[in-house]
Structure formats: C-alpha cells, structure tokens
Chain A
Amino acid sequence: MSESLPEDLKRQALARAGQAPAEDGALSTLRRDSLAALQSADFPGRKSERWKYTSLHPLSDGHLQHAAQGAAPARLPVLSDYRIVMVNGHLDESQTRLPEGVSLRREAERLDGLSNPFALLNGAALNDAISLEVAPNTEVAEPLHVLMFAASDTPAHCHTRLEVLVNRGSRLTLIEHYEGHGAALTNAVTAIETRDNAQLTHYRLQSEAADSLHIGTLLFQQTGVSRIDSYQLMAGNRLRRNEVIALLDKSGAELAMNGIFVARGRTHVDNQLCVEHRVPDCTSNQIYRGLAGEKGKATLNGRIHIHRGASGTLAELSNKNLLLNPGAEINTKPELEIYNDDVKCAHGATVGQLDAAQQFYLRSRGIPAADAKRMLGLGFINELVMALPDENVAEWVRPWLAAELGQRPEAGEEAA
C-alpha cells in the first residue's frame, strides 16, 4: 500500500460522502458545501501539530468504509422525562419526547467555525440530523436528554449531528450523551448558539465502551449576552478526540467549562479546547481534571485566544492531572495567545501522583490500598462532581466514575 494513512482516509471519506443521497432538501446544501471544503482539506498525519499526541492509526481498520448497523439494547439510560434518541446516526422517532417550547427539525446547516476534516466529513456524509430551537423567552424546566447510541461488531462508523439554538431570554438544560459498544466510530458534531439573555446548562457525557471510537467537535457560539455552563465528562476508549471551539461574540458573554477525563486500561483521550475572545468584556473560566492509569494516555490542549480589541477580558484555565502508575501518560498544553493589554488571563497545569502521605493515612485506618486509591482519585475530581447542578446527572455520574476509578486488571491485560 503506497498511500499514507491520511491520504487513504481522505479517499475513504470522499467515497463515503459520494454515497450520501444527493437529493434531500434539508441536508443537501450542507452536504454540497461540506464536500467542497472536504476536497481541499487534509487529514492529519503524525507530523500535524494539532494531532501530535493522537494517532489515527486505529482508523486503518476501515471504520470509514462501512456504516454502523448494530442494535441498541432494550434498556437505555434515562436521565430525564424528555429525550431524543439516535441510534447509529438515525433518529428513533418512537422514543422522542420534547418539552414544551422546544421544536425539532431534521436538518442541519452550520458550517462556519467547523473546519477539521472530520467535521467536514460529518456534513458531507450526513444521513440524519437534529436541529433544536428553544422559543424566545421560554424557560424549559426539565432537562432534555439527547442520547446518541452507536454499535457495531465490525469496524464501522456513524455521523451524529446536533444543532441547538437557545433563543433570546430562554433557558435550557441539555444533556448530550454518547453511549455505545463494539468497533463503532462516532463522528459527532454539535453546534450550539445562544442569543441575548439566554442561559444554557450543557452536559456532555461520553461513556461508550472502551473498544469503541469517538471523534467529536463541539462548537459554542455566543452571539448574545448569554451564559453557558458546560460539564464534560469522558471515559477514554480506543480513540477519543474532542475538539471544543467556543466563540464569544458578544460583549458580556460568559462561559464556564468544566471537564473530567479518565483514561484507564489501554484507552486514549485527547481534548482540544479553543476559546476565542473576539469582543471586549467577556469572561471564560475552564477547569479540567484528568486521570490516566495502566497504559492510558490523556491529552489536553487548552488554547485561549484574545483578539486585538478584546479589552476587559477575563480568561482562566486550570488543568490538573493525576498519573496513577508507570506506563500511563499525560500531555497537557495550556496556550495563551493575547493581543491586548487590558486583560486578565491565567492558566495553570499540574501533573502529579496520589499523595503518599494521604494513602498512608487511609491505609493506617484499615482501608485497603485499592480502595484508598479510588477514594483519593474521587477526591481529586470531587470538586467538579459536587458542582453538577442536576441531581439526575450527578446520580448517574457517581457510580460511573467510581467504576472508572475502580481497580483495573494490570496493564496489558485489558482486553481490546
């Protein structure tokens, strides 16, 4: 095979996009434009700076060649009375229940701000999409749970697309939830826009099984004076890559992002965060905690870009990481790019291990070593778990995290 992996992936992606139905009113414009952009885009190779710590090698199994066909289990997690379920990139209408004030259309149109090849492939090869709109001045009391399920026994993929518009004066709690198992690649794009006086509480739960793959792009666009609180929880899997882009486009907008990522066994997590302060007087605050154990590999790249003229900006990023044992790996790069003097910016990053004295303290009180480690691991991220405002989500998160932090088979025994 003379073709390099990026070239091979691009060929597969273009072939895939070519198979999408040509005539389909709601998605055809996006498909056409995305395909045009995809044709001049390059899939990243090993030397690509933004993919320095993530290899696309797992995709050489041919995930892009086949669509995922697996079946969803009869019982799916329920985090709210209102929900939308997508299985392998297709909306399951029988399970849809929308709260009052939220409308759903099966279309997608956003392209600007999305430039990575996977987001373009998503647009070009899309079969189905969800576009939600919260009517102006509507307070949606109950959370809306959007569950994306993907399953396949053989290497395959699906594209999911979620576009959300939170209108003027509205309030929404959105739980974006990814589940799945098997060798399925979820290529997800989520784009959320908030208008003046809108408030969004956003959860992104990614708990697919360790053998699945996920490449996701999340775009926030605050076109109004609005507030977004985003909580991102993710377990590592065979390949997990999350690109988060936040565009603060209106003075007074506030963004808070909190994240927990755990890479155990032989799993991989790569977060690429980019917050663009394009106008004066916006605030962003990011807190991320990462854990890696066994042969796990976790990466975070947190970029804060303050454009010329964006005076009065407050921007912070904190990333603390724990390495649980030799063989695991953490890479972090908090970046600042600042073109204005009237700003307050700070970032901090640490990488360390569980405190030996704390472990000794617990063990001296009869707590087994493994439990002590789990307790201290939980303590390390508890600050973020405690801050979860929605009780249903918190209840789901606690056992999930306890399992993620629990005892694992020794490095190397983890089955793929």
Chain B
Amino acid sequence: MSSQAELDKVIRSEYEAGFTTLVESDTLPPGLNEDIIRVISAKKEEPEWMLEWRLEAYRHWQEMPEPGWAHLNYPPVDYNSISYYSAPKSMEDRPQSLDEVDPELLETYKKLGIPLHEQEMLAGVAVDMVFDSVSVATTFKAKLAEAGVIFCSISEAIREHPELVRKYLGTVVPKGDNFFAGLNSAVFTDGSFVYIPKGVRCPMELSTYFRINEANTGQFERTLIIADEGSYVSYLEGCTAPQRDENQLHAAVVELVALPGAEIKYSTVQNWYPGDENGKGGIFNFVTKRGVAHDNAKISWTQVETGSAITWKYPSVVLRGDNSVGEFYSVALTRHAQQADTGTKMIHLGKNTKSTIVSKGISAGRSNNSYRGLVRMGPRAENARNFTQCDSLLLGDTCGAHTFPYIESKHPSATIEHEATTSKVSDDQLFLCRQRGIDPEKAISMIVNGFCKEVFKELPMEFAVEAGKLLEVSLEGAVG
C-alpha cells in the first residue's frame, strides 16, 4: 500500500471518529487515544511502521503505573487534559514587541547579556528573526553536509533516513522502558536526529539552538544521536536563557548510540520556567536519557539544571563494550519550591569499563534536591572502575538535600568508590570574601561557582561562562 493511500485511510478513519477538521486544524483537542496518535503520525507524514511503533508504545503505556519512588511531591497529572499536538503559534498570537513581554523575564535576559534579537526569539516575539539564523544555519548545513553529518529534526529523519531511524530508535530506551518514556514513544512530535559517519569528527558543536527548521521546542522531544565507529560529536541542548513554555508537562527521551571507538559529548543547560515562589505554574520535566557505549567508546553527559518545578532525570550510560567509558557531570540548583530528583546510572557490562560521576547539588529556599544514582558492575565487568563524588550545598535551613546512591557489584576485580558530603557555605570562606570588601551575595555566588568548578570545566567554553552567570542570577535573593 502506498504511503499516500495509507495516509488517506488514516484521515478517513479520523473523520469516522468525528474529528472532522482535525487535519486542517493546528491544535488537537485535549486527550489521548489511538486516534490522536494516528493524527500525530499523519501530520508528521510518517510511514506505517512508525505509527505501529507508536501504537504499541501507547498500548503498553496504558498498562503502566506512574512511578512514585522519586523524592518528589507533585499533584497527579491528568494525561487526558493535555493537547498532544499543536502547531507553532501564529505571528498574530505572539507578543508584538518586547514591550509586551514580562519585564521580569527581560531583566533576567539583560543580566545574562543576551543580545536583543535573541531576547525577542526567546520570548517568542513575532519578529522575522529568521534572517540571521537562516544565514547562520545555511553555512552550518553546508559544512556539515561536507563532512557527511546528518543533523535534522527527528520527523525529517523518519521521512528521509528511515533505515537509520528504524535500526536504532528504541534500542537504547525501549518504548516500554518506563512510564514517561512510554508516553513519549507514543506521542513525540519533535526532537533532533544526528548521524556521524565512520571516522568523522563533527566539525562543529551541534546545538538545538541552531536547528531552526522546527522553531518551538517540543513538549515531547525525542532525540537520537548515532556516532558511527571512530567518530566524535559534541551536542549542546537547551540554553541558559529562561524559556517560557505554555506546556506544563515535558517528557523527553534522548538516545545515544556510540559505536566502537566513537565519542559522544552531550551537554545540557536546562532552565525551564520554575514557577513562582510557591512553584505554581512551573514545568514538570520527566526526562529519560540513556546512551550505549560499545567497545572503546565514550559517552559523557554534562548537565546544568536550574529550571523546572519538578525535575526527574537520570542520564545513564550502558557500558556494553570492553574498555568503554562513561562520564556524568552535573550541577543541579533548586530554590523556592523547586524539586529535583536527578542523577545517573552507570551499568558496567564490559571488561575494563570506567565511569566517573561528579554531582553537585545546591539547594536554597524551600526546595528539595536529590541525587539518585546507580553503579552496577555486572558479572563480566572485569577490572571495571567507578568513582563517584556527590556533594551537596545547603543555603538556609528550610531546604533539603538528599543522596540515594545504589551500588551493586557482582565482580571481585571491579572497584567502586563513592563519597558524598553535605555542608553549608563555610563561614570562614564568607568572612574572607567580606573582609576583602565583596558583598555577601557576590561572595556566595563566588563560593558556589567554586563548588561547581569541576563540572563547569567539562562544559564547552561559552556554555561554561554562561552557566556561571546563570548560577549567579539564579542565586539572587536566595541568600538571607
């Protein structure tokens, strides 16, 4: 059956179900059922196998209970009150100029030193900012194409490179992996696809920021990065500027495949709207991120998490191949009523595998910040090695900092070391700074920056500078 005929059939079936104008309309009614998934798939002009995959994920998801083990407290999410597809806002619906944007947001942009036209883009102002980006993006694309790198949206990849997508999608995070990954598998509408051919070192750092063909960041993002044998790629996700989004629930899935000898470096700065002082209106961010490292491959996750009301996120590495390496560097800052339950999993399966975990948690206000990690040495993980350090810094006596490290070893030659400390900003350090005329707020921010240095040095340079600034801004007013 041709795909056109298939599409027609799907459209007809929608009609029978009563959604007369669905295909024409830009936003689906709230609710989730198989018909909605069919419409999403049709809108994305997906092949039949993709629709089947989504439906299987959806059927499985319906049987799954929502996980309750995380150290998080949030009202139950009504999955039927969410609209699972909406096209980008039209120009008329958007703020017409920066004057109409929340002044608080603009203040933050100014502090972060974001250029005016980027401020407009971030705030979703209806300006034709495409000029700039298009020219940047065009030079980008030419350079990437020369190297043979594929970098496009996941929807485009499903259409243009189905053989690659079909081979790898769901191999790292299966569609029934967990509740939120299951939901994502059924309804994802956006995300990136990257393929680096054998032996190619990607000529530039790839960033979602420049992938302008899908302007608005999706609610259910799905990213798939494949680094073929001996290749290298560094990928940046998010940006330091606070992003407003009308969707409260975010459930993203990121899959990384590092084939033998490849290296993937994945850096994230997450600064979704954290809600007001009581956490009202903030984003719920439930993310499944995982990579598989084959022989001699390396996967490195670096994250700076300062946004979202709820963060549920455990970027993991399955060290499948011998001599593979996994790294996780994280700074998580929570304030007001934010709650973060984040960490990593390092699953050592191959021989001589190595992993390093450095996690820095900073909590202020009435927030709760948990590190949850798993280090597992399988029965074949000869000479495997792990080092974990997770430190927490508490600012004030109303916040919470927690550590839940799971350590499992089934091989005697594997070595695991874990250490964690919790403390406050030392009075001595604070005194030293103040004695030299540095005001308390600045002093605290310096000390916190020092606390996070180990992680920041893993970030790409510009990102690291921005992250430092972001932390400074986020800490404002957090110190009493």
Contact = CB atoms under 8 A, between A and B. Distances in A.
B422 interface: yes
Contacts of B416: 349-352
Contacts of A308: 397-398
Interface of B is mostly: strand
Interface in B212-240: none
B415 interface: yes
Contacts of B410: 326, 328-329
B394 A341 contact: yes
Interface in A317-369: 321, 323-353
A338 B402 contact: yes
B412 A338 contact: no
Given A335-B403, A340-B394, A326 B419 contact: no
A120 B412 CA distance: 38
A330 B407 CA distance: 8
Looking at A328, A336, A346, A347, the one whose CB has the most chain B CB atoms below 10 A away is A336
Contact of B408 (A331, A336, A342): A331
B412 A334 contact: no
Given A341-B424, A345-B421, A351 B409 contact: yes
A334 B401 contact: no
Contact of A340 (B397, B402, B404, B406): B397
Nearest to B414: A351
B388 to A, nearest CB: 9
B64 to A, nearest CB: 13
A346 B392 CA distance: 10
Contact of B409 (A49, A329, A344, A347): A329
Interface residues of B, number: 36
Interface string B52-87: 000000000000000001010000000000000000
A32 B406 CA distance: 38
A334 B411 CA distance: 20
Nearest to A350: B417
Interface string B293-322: 000000000000000000000000000000
A187 interface: no
B405 interface: yes
A311 interface: yes
Nearest to B425: A341
A341 B367 CA distance: 12
A309 interface: yes
Contact of B412 (A309, A323, A331, A346): A323
A356 to B, nearest CB: 9
Contacts of A331: 406-409
B418 A336 contact: no
B85 to A, nearest CB: 35
A333 B397 contact: no
Contacts of A325: 412
A140 B239 CA distance: 67
B378 to A, nearest CB: 11
Contacts of A329: 408-410
Interface of A is mostly: strand
B415 A346 contact: no
Contact of B407 (A343, A344, A349): A349
A337 B414 contact: no
Looking at A329, A339, A343, the one whose CB has the most chain B CB atoms below 10 A away is A339
A339 B420 CA distance: 16
B51 to A, nearest CB: 33
A346 B397 contact: no
Nearest to A52: B406
A160 B305 CA distance: 50
A326 B411 contact: yes
B457 to A, nearest CB: 24
B418 A350 contact: yes
B409 A309 contact: no
B413 interface: yes
B419 A348 contact: yes
Contacts of A321: 409
Given A334-B420, A343-B422, A346-B419, A351 B407 contact: yes
A187 B76 CA distance: 39
A328 B414 CA distance: 12
A330 B409 contact: yes
B248 to A, nearest CB: 27
A333 B411 contact: no
A138 to B, nearest CB: 39
Contact of B379 (A326, A338, A340, A347): A326
A96 to B, nearest CB: 44
Contact of A336 (B379, B396, B402): B402
Contacts of B424: 341-343
A130 to B, nearest CB: 37
Interface string A22-59: 00000000000000000000000000010000000000
B242 interface: no
A326 B412 contact: yes
A73 to B, nearest CB: 36
A155 to B, nearest CB: 29
Contacts of B468: none
B423 interface: yes
B400 interface: yes
B355 to A, nearest CB: 13
Looking at A321, A324, A332, A351, the one whose CB has the most chain B CB atoms below 10 A away is A351
Contacts of B394: 338, 340-341, 343
Contacts of A341: 394-397, 399, 424
Contact of A348 (B400, B408, B418): B418
Given A334-B405, A340-B397, 15 more contacts: A323-B411, A323-B414, A326-B411, A329-B408, A329-B409, A335-B403, A341-B397, A343-B424, A344-B423, A345-B422, A346-B419, A346-B421, A350-B416, A351-B377, A351-B407
26 contacts: A308-B398, A311-B397, A323-B411, A326-B411, A330-B407, A330-B408, A331-B407, A331-B408, A332-B407, A333-B407, A336-B392, A336-B401, A337-B71, A337-B402, A339-B400, A341-B394, A342-B424, A343-B423, A346-B419, A346-B422, A348-B417, A348-B418, A350-B418, A351-B377, A352-B415, A352-B416
